[in-house]
Amino acid sequence: MSSQSQTFVIVGGGLAGAKAAEALRDKDFSGEIVLFAAEEHLPYERPPLSKEYLAGKKTLDEFTVNSAAWYRDHRVDLRLGTTVASLDVREHLVGLQDGSTQRYDKLLLATGSASRRLPIAGSDADGVHYLRTVDDADALDAAITADSALAVVGGGWIGLEVAAEARRRGAKVTVAEAAELPLLGALGREVAEVFAKLHRDHDVDLRLSTSVEEITTADGVATGLRLGDGSTVDADAVLVAVGAAPNVGLATVAGLAMAPDGGVAVDSSLRTSDPDVFAVGDIASAQHPLFGTRIRTEHWANALKQPAAAVAGMLGTPTEYAELPYFFTDQYDLGMEYAGYARDYARVVFRGDVDGREFVAFWLDSDSRVLAGMNVNIWDVLDDVKSLIRSQKPVDADKLADPQQALSSLM
């Protein structure tokens, strides 16, 4: 079958979906491309929602992936405000909420994640915010003023980034986190301590090792939190930032193989258990050729880079996706980049001035191999950090910690 007579369908109107459409045309696919986007907005990137957009430093147009004219000029049938309700892999059909169907030859699932909800009283009250879409960001922006009090449930990346912006505006901020430290699961104790100190230095009230039993309300409007120890937090607005749940409903109902981490199981070329269906982004639990394990991360870099690899497979020339997991954050005067994968590590080695928040941290395994690295306010070392990880060679920890030793010399 010629590519001109084929129809490729992309489900998901975020960065990953837009990049997949780009990659298909860049690779000279001449067939029909149908892109279903649940939001009414053109596909856009999500990291700015808790960073530059919330801070007023970027407009939506600046992080919208492509203009409406681009989709028209590249013959991409972009259907905004359209939710795919079903997937029949046997018949190669997706079903829409209005009962209509769309046939496909190849399908890419790029359905992303949804904010996790709290199963507690008050979680749906007015004044309770979640941050996943630009509309969510607009509502949150309006709620944070210099004389307001914000309660953040969850000490993860989004919660802390919003906390930093709220403090910049002069708002009073309390963060309630179930773990002993914010970001403990993502970074481990050694580096999580850095972020705890960062927020305390900016007068954030960190309530750690505590549960949130209730979002208190008055006349249907959120007024704060009631914590597990019986204490309360007064607030004008509440942000619930307790992680994201991958949108795998379509894949599950279609009978695609799922991974233990809750994602859609894909091989290193991002192909699912059905040969004509691929998955990318937040939902993809991909076999990583370097780490030899499945990895599913909810980070911008996957949405940006995985689509090109998936498209190669859709076009019959599968390629391994071997990029290192990568993410970044900006909070107050701290900017950082993280690369690698260190779910299990033996030690952390610091290089530079930790108290001054200008350093590189390395996560090592028991054989002194670098699993991951994070550069904080140092911007010329990321390539060397990635090379150390890819080498999979033991390093001298003392030299790794010595800023006088060039990282390149340790390889």
**Model confidence pLDDT, tens digit, residues 356-410:** 999 999 999 999 999 999 999 999 999 999 999 999 999 999 999 999 999 999 8
**Tens-digit pLDDT profile for residues 10-61:** 999 999 999 999 999 999 999 999 999 999 999 999 999 999 999 999 999 9
pLDDT of residue 1 exceeding 60: no
Which fold does the domain 333-410 belong to in CATH?
Enolase-like; domain 1 (3.30.390)
Which fold does the domain 128-242 belong to in CATH?
FAD/NAD(P)-binding domain (3.50.50)
Per-residue H/E/C for 75-86: CEEEECCCCEEE
* Interatomic CA distance for residues 281 and 266, integer angstroms: 11
* CA angle, 165 then 167 then 169, to 5°: 75
Handedness of CA 306, 62, 38, 74 (dihedral sign): negative
Residue type at position 250: L
pLDDT of residue 156 exceeding 80: yes
Residue that has been written with the tokens 């991974």 in this structure: 259
pLDDT of residue 132 exceeding 70: yes
Contacts of 119 (CB under 8 A, 6+ apart): none
List residues bridging with 215 in a β-sheet: 225
Burial class of residue 388 (count of CB atoms within 10 Å of its CB; 0-12, 13-18, 19+): buried
**Tens-digit pLDDT profile for residues 278-292:** 999 999 999 999 998
Burial class of residue 215 (count of CB atoms within 10 Å of its CB; 0-12, 13-18, 19+): buried
Q: In the chain, what are the domain boundaries?
A: 3-114+245-314, 128-242, 333-410
3-state DSSP assignment of residue 196 = helix
* Interatomic CA distance for residues 69 and 152, integer angstroms: 39
pLDDT of residue 145 exceeding 80: yes
pLDDT of residue 3 exceeding 70: no
pLDDT of residue 2 exceeding 90: no
CB 197 within 8 Å of CB 181: no
CB 174 within 8 Å of CB 207: yes
DSSP of 367-392: T-BEEEEEEES--S-HHHHHHHHHHT
On the question of a common fold for 128-242 and 333-410, the answer reads no
Q: In angstroms, what CA-CA distances link 337 with 24, 98, 124, 408? A: 30, 43, 34, 18
What was the pLDDT predicted at 147?
96
The whole-angstrom distance between residue 335's C-alpha and the CA centroid of its chain comes to 17
Token pair for residue 408? 């390149």
Helix 189-201 and helix 157-169, axial crossing angle in degrees, nearest 10: 20
What was the pLDDT predicted at 208?
98
pLDDT band (50, 70, 90) for residue 338: very high
**Tens-digit pLDDT profile for residues 107-126:** 999 999 999 999 999 999 99
Query: Considering the domain 3-114+245-314 in this protein, what is its CATH number?
Result: 3.50.50.60
Strand ranges for 89-143 from DSSP E: 93-96, 101-103, 106-109, 113-115, 128-129
Token pair for residue 367? 């054989």
What was the pLDDT predicted at 73?
98
